[in-house]
C-alpha cells in the first residue's frame, strides 16, 4: 500500500494533523494498532480518569478542523479561575479569566471525548484509515520508508510522521535518540465527587511529596450550572506513597485525599477506580530527519503539572501542517529535511522552555531548605500582587503567546 504521507498513531495529536491536512491534495494514510471503531457516547457514563486541560489555542485548532462541536456535544468542563497554593507555607496565587477579558482559562475534557470527536471526523473525511495495524519493522526504501506490519502487510511513503506516543515504535525503529529521565514520582488519577461545588475553578496544592490538582468536570445528571461537584484529580507523589494510597479502600483513600487537599471543597464523598502512572520525561534530540517528523509525545513528554502535554502536541500538529501546506504551495517536497526543519525550529524552543519551566516548578516545590521554602512562598505572593505578571502567565497558559500557527489564531 502506497501513500504520500503515513501518520502512525491515530491518537489526539496524529488525528489532528491528518485533519489539518485533509484538503492538502496529499494521499494520507493514518495507521494505528487499535481498531479505530467509533463507540456511541453515553452522557451518563462515568468519567474517564485521563483528562486534558485544553487551552484556548487548542480549542481554536479543534474548531478550525471542525472537531470542537463534537467535543461540546459530548461533555467539556470550562474553568474560569485557578487557585494555587503551597501546602507547606503561606504562598498562594489566584488567576481569573476575567482579568484577561476571556470567558475561560480552558476546558477540562476527558481524553476519550477528544479522541471520539476526532475519530468521528476522521470517519467522515476522505482520509485513509488503517486500524489493527501495528508497525513491527521500518527501513528506508529508495527515497522513502517501508513499513512492515505485524500481519506482514507492507506500507510505503516518502514522508512518515510518528504520532504514536511516548513509547513511540517509529521513533525507536528509526533510531531517533532521546534524552530521558525518571521523575521518581507516580501520578494517581481518578474522578471524585466533593461535598461543595468546584466553582469552575482549577485547584492545585503543592505538597511536600508533589502537586495535587483538582480539575473541574462538567455537570452530570441532577447538577445545575454553578452546582457542579465532580473533579478529576492528578496526585503526584513518591512511589512508596503512591503504592500505599493505591492499596487503600475507597473510604480511606477519600479521607487521605480530602486531608491532602485541606478540605477546600469539603468531604470527598465518592471516588471512582484509580490509575497509577509512573512519570518520566523524554525529549527527542531531533524532531526531524529526511522524510520523518516526530510530533506530540513521540517528540516530548513532560510532567503533568500544568496539563500542557496535549496542548504542546496540538501546536506541533498545527505548525507541521502549516509548514507542509506552505511547502506544497511553493512546489517543494514535503519530506525534504530542509522543509521539515522549519517545523523543528519553531517548535523545539517552545517545548524546551515549557519543559524547563515545569522541571523548575517541580524541583522548587520539593525543596526542603528553609531559604527555598521562603523563596517559593514569597514568589507566589509576589506574583499574586502583580496583575501584569499574572496576565502574562495566563496568556501563556491560554496558548496565546509566541509563534502561533494559523490554526491557533483568532
We report the CATH number of the domain holding residue 285 as: 3.50.50.60
Identify the pLDDT of residue 302: 83
Would you say the pTM of this structure is higher than 0.85?
A: yes
Per DSSP, the three-state class of 214 is: strand
Identify the pLDDT of residue 368: 52
Q: Which residues of 46-65 are buried (b: 16+ CB within 10 A; e: fewer)?
A: ebbbbbbbbbbbbbbbbebb
User: Which residues have C-beta within 8 Å of that of residue 66, sequence separation ≥ 6?
Assistant: 19, 121
Residue 223 lies in a domain: no
316-359 tens-digit pLDDT:
999 999 999 999 999 999 999 999 999 999 999 988 887 766 66
Dist CA 167 CA 147 (whole Å): 18
Residue 153 lies in a domain: yes
Q: Average pLDDT of the chain?
A: 90
Q: Quick one: what percent of the chain has pLDDT higher than 70? A: 87
90-137 tens-digit pLDDT:
678 888 888 888 899 999 999 999 999 999 999 999 999 999 999 999
Residue 56 lies in a domain: yes
Residue 45 lies in a domain: yes
* Residue 100 lies in domain: 5-181+280-408
Residue 120 lies in a domain: yes
Per DSSP, the three-state class of 146 is: strand
pLDDT per 10-residue tile (average), the chain, 410 residues: 97 98 98 94 92 94 98 95 81 84 92 97 97 97 95 97 97 96 90 98 89 94 90 95 98 98 98 94 95 97 75 96 98 98 96 72 51 54 62 68 83
Instruction: At 402, list the grid cell.
Output: 509566541
Residue 260 lies in a domain: no
Dist CA 132 CA 189 (whole Å): 28
Residue 91 lies in a domain: yes
43-57 tens-digit pLDDT:
889 999 999 999 999
Residue 294 lies in a domain: yes
User: Which residues have C-beta within 8 Å of that of residue 353, sequence separation ≥ 6?
Assistant: none
Per DSSP, the three-state class of 314 is: helix
What's the domain count of the chain?
1
Amino acid at each position: 500500500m502506497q501513500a504520500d504521507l503515513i501518520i502512525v498513531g491515530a491518537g489526539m495529536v496524529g488525528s489532528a494533523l491528518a485533519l489539518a491536512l485533509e484538503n492538502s491534495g496529499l494521499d494520507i494514510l493514518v495507521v494505528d494498532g487499535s481498531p479505530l471503531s467509533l463507540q456511541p457516547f453515553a452522557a451518563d457514563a462515568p468519567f474517564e480518569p485521563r483528562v486534558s486541560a485544553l487551552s484556548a489555542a487548542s480549542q481554536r485548532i479543534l474548531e478550525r478542523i471542525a472537531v470542537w462541536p463534537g467535543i461540546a456535544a459530548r461533555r467539556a468542563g470550562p474553568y474560569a479561575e485557578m487557585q494555587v497554593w503551597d501546602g507547606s507555607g503561606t504562598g498562594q496565587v489566584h488567576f481569573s479569566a476575567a482579568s484577561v477579558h476571556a470567558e475561560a482559562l480552558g476546558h477540562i475534557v476527558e481524553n476519550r471525548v477528544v479522541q471520539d470527536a476526532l475519530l468521528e471526523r476522521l470517519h467522515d473525511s476522505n482520509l485513509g484509515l488503517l486500524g489493527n495495524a501495528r508497525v513491527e519493522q521500518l527501513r528506508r526504501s529508495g527515497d522513502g520508508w517501508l513499513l512492515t506490519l505485524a500481519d506482514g502487510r507492507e506500507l510505503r511513503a516518502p514522508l512518515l510522521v510518528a504520532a504514536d506516543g511516548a513509547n513511540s515504535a517509529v521513533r525507536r525503529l528509526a533510531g531517533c535518540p532521546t534524552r530521558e529521565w525518571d521523575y521518581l514520582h507516580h501520578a494517581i488519577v481518578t474522578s471524585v465527587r466533593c461535598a461543595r461545588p468546584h466553582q469552575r475553578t482549577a485547584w492545585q496544592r503543592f505538597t511536600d511529596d508533589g502537586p495535587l490538582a483538582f480539575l473541574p468536570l462538567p455537570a452530570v445528571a441532577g447538577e445545575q450550572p454553578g452546582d457542579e461537584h465532580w473533579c478529576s484529580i492528578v496526585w503526584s507523589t513518591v512511589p512508596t506513597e503512591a503504592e500505599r494510597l493505591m492499596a487503600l479502600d475507597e473510604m480511606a483513600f477519600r479521607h487521605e485525599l480530602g486531608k491532602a487537599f485541606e478540605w477546600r471543597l469539603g468531604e470527598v464523598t465518592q471516588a471512582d477506580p484509580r490509575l497509577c502512572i509512573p512519570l518520566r520525561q523524554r525529549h527527542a534530540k531531533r524532531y526531524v530527519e529526511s522524510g520523518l517528523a516526530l510530533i506530540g509525545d513521540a517528540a516530548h513528554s513532560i510532567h503533568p503539572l500544568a496539563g500542557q502535554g496535549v496542548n504542546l502536541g496540538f501546536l506541533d500538529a498545527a505548525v507541521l501542517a502549516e509548514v507542509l501546506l506552505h511547502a506544497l504551495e511553493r512546489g517543494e517536497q514535503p519530506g525534504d529535511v530542509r522543509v521539515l526543519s522549519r517545523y523543528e525550529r519553531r517548535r523545539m524552543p517552545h517545548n524546551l522552555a515549557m519543559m524547563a519551566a515545569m522541571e523548575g516548578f517541580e524541583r522548587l516545590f520539593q525543596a526542603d531548605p528553609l531559604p527555598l521554602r521562603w523563596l517559593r512562598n514569597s514568589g507566589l505572593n509576589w506574583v499574586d500582587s502583580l496583575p501584569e505578571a499574572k496576565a502574562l502567565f495566563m496568556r501563556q497558559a491560554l496558548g496565546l503567546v509566541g509563534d502561533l500557527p494559523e490554526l491557533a489564531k483568532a
